[in-house]
Amino acid sequence: MAIDLPLDNMTLVEKLEAMEALWADISRKPANLPSPSWHKDILDERRQLVAEGKLKFLDWDTAIADLRKELRGHSAT
> For 13-42, how does the pLDDT look when each residue is reduced to its tens digit (9 = 90+)?
999 999 999 999 998 988 888 889 999 999
- Cα–Cα distance, 35 to 19 (Å, whole number): 19
Going by pLDDT thresholds of 50, 70 and 90, the confidence category of residue 76 is very low
Q: Residue 10 falls within a domain, yes or no? A: no
Residue 75, domain member (yes or no): yes
Look at residue 21 and tell me if it is in a domain.
Answer: no
Does 16 reside within a domain?
no
Query: What global pTM score does this model have?
Result: 0.43
Flag whether 65 is in a domain.
Answer: yes
DSSP letter at 54 equals: S
In terms of residue numbers, what domain contains 52?
38-77
**How big is the chain, counted in residues?**
77
Give pLDDT, residue 56: 83
* Closest by Cα among 31, 35, 10, 8 to 21: 10
- Return d(Cα 14, Cα 3) in angstroms, integer: 16
Does some domain include residue 29?
A: no
Domain assignment present for 77: yes
Q: Domain count for the chain, please give it.
A: 1
